Amino acid sequence: MLTRYKPIPNIALLETAAQIRQAMRKGNMAEAVNLFHQTAEKESASLFETFAEAQQQYESKRIGIEEWWRKQVQTCQSILGTGCMLETEMRETPSSQIKAGILQLLHKHKTEQALAMCEGFGDDYLLLHAQLYAAKNEGGSGLIESEYFEATKSKVNDALEALMGQIPEPTPRRGFWYKVMRLFG
């Protein structure tokens, strides 16, 4: 639930940015929006209002869970795209060993463990974490069916695999069987 705080411009940027990212990582978008609103960044008031309106629409059942999640992700992206957040983003690059470990976990459908290994790799990974945990938080409270959480988890798996650079481009096959198959296709 959102709480209207009076913006406090003297909040330490590094500390607040870390707290905002941690709230997103936990799937607690309301806390992230509240913390961002306290920074008094020029975008903070409008993002706070947009999020509050979307939350109200969801709670009054004027929008469904998919639209609500979409709006939460858009809000996260908007917050992460502001100057104060871009200045504090840490972008490590996963080593080939870490990538291999993450991919192994993804192939075993251990998405949460794979995302835990991505904590320092930038805001693209953070958004995936936020999506998964927002879905998990909603699912845990009985608001969505487990199939929908699993669908979200699958999408996060695919996106994480793509970020790891492991989805190969389709290569045209030019062998004998390819030519035969083209004749019958």
Residue range of the domain that includes 72: 7-89
- Both 21 and 62 in one domain: the answer is yes
pLDDT tops 60 at residue 173: no
Chain centre to alpha carbon of residue 65: 16
**71 found inside a domain:** yes
- Both 80 and 139 in one domain: the answer is no
- Both 85 and 157 in one domain: the answer is no
The single residue listed with the structure tokens 């008094």 is: 40
Count how many domains the chain has.
Answer: 2
**183 found inside a domain:** no
**121 found inside a domain:** yes
- Both 11 and 77 in one domain: the answer is yes
pLDDT computed for residue 170 by the predictor:
45
pLDDT tops 50 at residue 180: no
Share of the chain above pLDDT 90, in %: 25
Which of 91 and 181 is assigned the larger pLDDT?
91
Alpha-carbon span 114 to 129, nearest angstrom: 10
Q: For 8-67, what is each residue's pLDDT tens digit? A: 554 566 778 889 999 998 888 899 999 998 887 888 889 999 999 999 998 999 998 778
Answer whether 5's CB lies under 8 Å from 48's CB: no
- Both 83 and 116 in one domain: the answer is no
- Both 84 and 105 in one domain: the answer is no
pLDDT computed for residue 120 by the predictor:
80
Coil/strand/helix, residue 113: helix
Among 34, 64, 89, the domain boundary falls at 89
- Both 85 and 105 in one domain: the answer is no
Average pLDDT value for the chain: 79
Angle at 75 between CA 82 and CA 41, to 5 degrees: 35
- Average of pLDDT values for 118-122? 84
pLDDT computed for residue 169 by the predictor:
43
- Average of pLDDT values for 108-130? 88
pLDDT computed for residue 168 by the predictor:
45
- Average of pLDDT values for 85-96? 81
